A and B are shown apart, each in its own frame.
Chain A
Amino acid sequence: MFASCTDPSTLDGLNWLACYLTTGKHVLFYKSFIVVLTLLAVTAPIALGVGFLGAIAARSKVAPVRWFGTLYTSMVRGVPDIVFFLFVPLAMDQGFEWTRHKILCPDWSEPIRQGNDFLVCSAAKLPLGSAPQTTHEIYGFILAVIAFSIVFGAFAANVLSGAMSAVPRAQMETAEAYGMSPRQSFWRILVPQMWIYALPGLSNLWMILIKATPLLFLLGVEDIVYWARELGGAKTSHFDYPHPDWRLWYFLGLLVFYLAFTKISEIVLDRLTIRLSRGQATVAGEQMRKAA
């Protein structure tokens, strides 16, 4: 990066460190933080949407829909999330390829599962064998987003259905007294009011989501854990920047990153709670009304 970095063996002290921390691989390491933040930014709204649908399903009047909603939310509570993280991407991948195989290669006569193999015609492969490396990486990332959304959607559904039943019954009765249809009272009374009850649970969920992001490593995505192991491992004198095993320091860096991230989130969420309490029929809202 710097002009003085051309011959690392002549460097020492801070110069060496400055050059070391700006090598191409380190830039990739810094970029992988963006991968993690992207995952959070993409997953959080999707999971909230999935959770909203799940909560509606769990409260549905149609029995099969309700069973599905309840099964979905309770399933994720009983089984470790990491099982889903390992299972969902693989299952999704095979599911997509199987569907494409059925559509694209109808003439294929051999079975797809041959003993310990999963064989689809080359046109059905996802991504195609000829695709560039970035396509493979993006595909892996999308599978990860799906896995995270399914797991955290279930948690969010739990929180949101709790929040929906926490809205005071009197509010809904008033809506009915005004002659609102169930749909109207749901969208105009229940949904705007439920967020303050959902916020403690959702804040908690956000923290859990942040702390689940290192699991991306297990899904084969080149995330911060991958690069911390890669860069921290002992480098012999064959490398430009030889050093002993520094993984401890890299992981310490990641620890600090996460501690800072969760701390900042906590501060922001506390402010949001105060903002959302305005004008609500809760203790906090009542206190603010009196203070004003």
Chain B
Amino acid sequence: MSCLQTISDYAFRSIGYGPRLLPKSDITLCEQVTLIGSGMLWNIYFGVLALAFGFVFATLLAVAKNTPNPWLRKPAEWFMFLFRGSPLFIQFFLAYELFVQLPKAGIELFGMTLETGNLTRAWAGALIVLFLNTSAYSAEIFYGALRSVPKGDMEAADAYGMVGWTRFRRVTWPTMLRLAWPSYTNEAIFLFHATALVFFSGFPAWQQKGDALYYASYFAEKTFNPFVPYPIVAGYFVVLIVIVIGIFNIINTRLNRHLPIERRPRLRFKPQIIR
């Protein structure tokens, strides 16, 4: 079987298109590269969606933690403590066991039926866990940035007569993002790394539709040779991370476009603080 044939067969195997059976014997390099690459689709799916939803929620959490009102501040603090203080791996297991216990038929709430069947599937259940997890970490970063918004910026906003929502949208929030962006890039990288955990933590890979690491460990098990599949996964992730850093760099430039070039903060690729 030629390599092109393999690619057309297995390129979308991870999302259910292609032969049902995975290669079992005489596994070629091409099959490994194709299937692991196909699995990367899941890593990108989890990473991008969790990051997008998490960004919004994290902003809300950071603002909530920054308010003097204890009814908003305390829940935000507890949420962040819960998700930042415990391992993601345990969170996955716990969430899965929780979702399994939910009634199969769905929950009746205010006359509407909430679907629960999909929550035990990775695409929905693991996404929720990743979303909550990254929200907590990003919220801590945003909160730190909110605290270090320069006093002068706020005074300038006051001088222009900006208050409330206008001031937040036009002064506080952009400055917060600008300050938080290097650390937030780091968080995004960690989130993409964390997506590799999904199929090893309770959530079953239904019909062998898994992520890159799932297929890599499948091949390592079948060929008993870890030296081929794992470097392939590593290569894919390095490419993915380089793309992520590239995109975040473009946004970083856009956020700091009002500054003279030499004063623009560079994204540091070796930050002291990791997660």
Which interface class (under 10, 10 to 19, 20 to 34, 35 or more) fits A? 35 or more
Alpha-carbon distance between A82 and B270 when the two chains are bound, in angstroms: 20
Are B89 and A215 in contact (CB-based, < 8 A)?
A: yes
A162 at the interface (CB under 8 A from B): yes
Q: Which residues of A contact B89 (CB under 8 A)?
A: 211, 214-215, 217, 225
Q: Which residues of A contact B25 (CB under 8 A)?
A: 116
A258 at the interface (CB under 8 A from B): yes
Alpha-carbon distance between A163 and B272 when the two chains are bound, in angstroms: 8
Which residue of the partner chain B has the closest CB to A58?
Answer: B270
Q: Which residues of B contact A107 (CB under 8 A)?
A: none
Are A83 and B97 in contact (CB-based, < 8 A)?
A: no
Which interface class (under 10, 10 to 19, 20 to 34, 35 or more) fits B? 35 or more
Alpha-carbon distance between A252 and B82 when the two chains are bound, in angstroms: 12
Main secondary structure of the interface of A (DSSP, over half): helix
Q: Which residues of B contact A225 (CB under 8 A)?
A: 89-90, 93
B230 at the interface (CB under 8 A from A): yes
Are A251 and B97 in contact (CB-based, < 8 A)?
A: yes
Are B94 and A211 in contact (CB-based, < 8 A)?
A: no
Which residue of the partner chain B has the closest CB to A212?
Answer: B87
Most buried by B among A73, A80, A90, A262: A80
In the complex, how many angstroms separate the beta carbon of A157 from the nearest chain B beta carbon?
Answer: 10
The answer, among B81, B94, B192, for a CB contact under 8 Å with A252, is B94
Which residue of the partner chain A has the closest CB to B94?
Answer: A251
Render A192-214 as a binary contact track against B, CB cut-off 8 A, 1 for contact: 00000000110011011011111
10 shortest A-B CB distances, which residue pairs? A80-B193, A87-B230, A211-B87, A248-B97, A90-B226, A214-B89, A251-B94, A80-B196, A79-B234, A262-B85
B interface list, Cβ under 8 A from A: 25, 27, 81-82, 85-91, 93-94, 97-98, 100-101, 189, 192-194, 196-197, 200, 213, 216-217, 220, 222-227, 230, 233-234, 237-238, 241-242, 269-270, 272-275
Listed by A's residue number, 10 A-B pairs whose Cβ atoms lie within 8 Å are A73-B270, A77-B269, A78-B234, A80-B197, A81-B193, A118-B224, A204-B273, A215-B89, A258-B87, A258-B90
Other 19 A-B pairs with CB < 8 A, given A245-B97, A259-B81: A80-B237, A83-B213, A83-B230, A83-B237, A86-B216, A116-B25, A116-B222, A116-B224, A117-B224, A200-B273, A201-B274, A204-B275, A205-B274, A207-B275, A214-B89, A228-B93, A248-B94, A252-B94, A255-B91
